[in-house]
Amino acid sequence: MGELGEFGLIALVNQGRTHTPGVLLGPGDDAAVIAAPEGRFVVTTDMLVQDRHFRTDWSSPHDIGRKAIAQNAADVVAMGAVPSAFVVGLGCPSDTPVEFVRALADGMWAEAGRAGASIAGGDMVRSPILIISVTAFGDPRRAPIKLSGARPGDVVAVAGRLGFSAAGLAVLSSGGDAAEFADVVAAHRVPQPPYEAVLELPDAAEITALTDVSDGLLADLGHIAESSRVAIDLEAAALAVPELESVGNALGVDPLDWILAGGEDHAFAATFANSGDLPQGWVRIGRVRPGAGVTVDGILRSGPAGWESFA
Amino acid sequence: MGELGEFGLIALVNQGRTHTPGVLLGPGDDAAVIAAPEGRFVVTTDMLVQDRHFRTDWSSPHDIGRKAIAQNAADVVAMGAVPSAFVVGLGCPSDTPVEFVRALADGMWAEAGRAGASIAGGDMVRSPILIISVTAFGDPRRAPIKLSGARPGDVVAVAGRLGFSAAGLAVLSSGGDAAEFADVVAAHRVPQPPYEAVLELPDAAEITALTDVSDGLLADLGHIAESSRVAIDLEAAALAVPELESVGNALGVDPLDWILAGGEDHAFAATFANSGDLPQGWVRIGRVRPGAGVTVDGILRSGPAGWESFA
């Protein structure tokens, strides 16, 4: 890509793209302009570092692009907001093949489209390793759903998959048979946050707190418990994931470890005040109680709770 | 910083900060919430890579933090928008001293304050080298001032310093006397975009195109000329910078090279339709003509026009 230069590359990755209506002014000026019809916008940012957050020998550039966008879109949706746009900073070595960058951009646009938004701009720089920085925006069409709203008596529920990405990572890390366990390996390469489970919540759903499971279920519910000053008790039986049993047997791992501490699936975890039927796509996994901390069947679980940078 | 961990570090850099009113919800949830009273917002992003965009032996962490924010704030202001907030992604080695990160954050907050905004959130990850990704937001209180509005007959003007940062870089690169040429070295370490020259433009100022000088005057005016489909002719006499003569003499460089091709000062360059007095802070440097390209006293200048990544 040294031959194309920065401006040639920017033209290349933007070629033939169609922006969603929320992008009022796209790439090409000093800054982009994004619609914020509610008079405010939601913003989140993540940095992904080669060999720490992704490996080019485990994932295609298209998969890496999708994952980078998905994990940011999930954070926007986890506020109860509708994704409106993304901007992307990309650092890469000057000998990076142009095809790699194009496939990365294609993956980003594909996942942005799944989330209903497009990529409004970015920056490209030379760097000794691949670095992807994504910032995502959303329209908060309702009051932001924060971590702090859970109350004793609320039902704890989850939408989306738990433990799949961690199981896939375990297969890849152990040199296991990626073809035999293709489902979990694919889940590690590209998370599939169930955006619609949040975006199509009926108004009557009394959702009180919401987050996406990025660091691990215990860690992320821990953030809700701490912010809301409550305890959360999960029911192990409700967390069982039959699809993970054969992988667990093959690798000698209790799948519950992946389910409780594995991040990156970007499922959504929430608390609901109404004790009736849960909205479409949501499964009950526990109950909010007075107190502090997160327990499983009433017991504090030892061992790693999830991902922490620098840990 | 390995000892503090990600969440400890996030608490540290946010300790004791006061957010500006535009930050409706700051760090601590899945995403931040920023006010966009005009129903739209301006956004720009830049990635800074250690040893490419900054050197820790040439600049203090406080200076690096200020520069990272200043260059993004300048892009927001270059759209005619008022900075409202920033988010920051930071990648750094786990043996980075906590004091370094704190000073970097202090520098960012200092420059954000100069621009009238605060830092609404971010991400911290482990990385083999220092990487800083800044995304900046602004309120477009008037129609965005784009690159494409220049018309033949317009006056070309600049607000702020040209060539200082490039001269400072030349002193540092050549091992010259940083103390003797402290002004230009300081200008390289921390640019001082004259935000107020744009933010306090009177309504009567018929500004037609605007950019900040980040890549170099010729390169950035080239973007205006290309987008507006016009030619720009500069007057060499109007560009002379007496303060750069002694540095030029010491290093055997024609200061006009720094003035025309040196970026990073983040001056503002604009075109104005009215031929009367220029607004406060603006100096006339040339004229828009029919045609294409940027000339100096009517002559196309050979040699490097400015910074391009991967070049």
Distance between A219 CA and the closest CA of chain B, angstroms:
12
Long-range contacts of A250-256 (CB under 8 A, 24+ apart): A250/A176, A250/A177, A250/A180, A250/A181, A251/A170, A251/A171, A251/A174, A251/A176, A253/A167, A253/A170, A255/A163, A255/A167
B5 marked ligand binding residue: no
Token reading at B67: 């520069």
Beta-ladder partners of A206 = none
Tell me the Ramachandran region of residue B199: left when phi exceeds 0, alpha when psi lies from -120 to 50, beta otherwise: alpha
Q: How far is CA A117 from CA A19, A73, A229, B30, in A?
A: 8, 9, 35, 19
B215 marked ligand binding residue: yes
Q: What is the number of residues in chain A?
A: 311
CA B267 from chain centre, in angstroms, equals 7
> Higher confidence at residue A302 or residue B26?
B26
| B310 in any annotated domain | no
Clarify whether residues A123 and A189 are in a common domain. Answer: no
**Among candidates B306, B307, B85, B69, which has minimal Cα distance to B191?**
B69
Distance between A7 CA and the closest CA of chain B, angstroms:
8
Tell me the Ramachandran region of residue B5: left when phi exceeds 0, alpha when psi lies from -120 to 50, beta otherwise: left
Chain A contact set for B25 (CB, 8 A): 144, 146
Angle, helices B5-14 vs B98-114, to 10°: value is 40
Give the model confidence (pLDDT) of B147-163 as tens digits: 999 999 999 999 999 99
Minimum-distance CB partner of A49 among B39, B79, B91: B91
Domain of residue B242 covers: 147-300
Clarify whether residues A153 and A135 are in a common domain. Answer: no
CATH number at residue B225: 3.90.650.10
- Decide which of A139, A167, A201 is a domain's last residue: A139
A303: pLDDT confidence band, cut at 50, 70 and 90?
Answer: low
- The reply to whether residue B147 touches residue A29, judged by beta carbons under 8 angstroms, is yes
A45 marked ligand binding residue: yes
Poorest-pLDDT segment among A108-117, B158-167, B301-310 = B301-310
- The reply to whether residue A45 touches residue B140, judged by beta carbons under 8 angstroms, is no
Chain A contact set for B133 (CB, 8 A): 45, 47, 89, 131, 133
Clarify whether residues B63 and B201 are in a common domain. Answer: no
Distance between B179 CA and the closest CA of chain A, angstroms:
31
Clarify whether residues B258 and B162 are in a common domain. Answer: yes
A10: pLDDT confidence band, cut at 50, 70 and 90?
Answer: confident
> Higher confidence at residue A309 or residue B54?
B54
Minimum-distance CB partner of B78 among A30, A126, A308: A30
Mean pLDDT of chain A: 93
- Is residue A291 over pLDDT 90? yes
Clarify whether residues A27 and A77 are in a common domain. Answer: yes
Clarify whether residues B155 and B268 are in a common domain. Answer: yes
Q: What is the mean pLDDT of residues A281-298?
A: 96
> Higher confidence at residue B204 or residue B199?
B199
Q: What is the pLDDT of residue A310?
A: 60
Q: What is the pLDDT of residue B209?
A: 97
Clarify whether residues B129 and B216 are in a common domain. Answer: no
Task: Tell me how many domains chain A contains.
Answer: 2
Chain B contact set for A71 (CB, 8 A): none
**ipTM entry:** 0.92
Chain A contact set for B126 (CB, 8 A): 49, 52, 309-310
- The reply to whether residue A133 touches residue B133, judged by beta carbons under 8 angstroms, is yes
Please name the residue of chain B whose CA is at the shortest distance from the CA of residue A91.
B47
Q: What is the mean pLDDT of residues B62-91?
A: 97
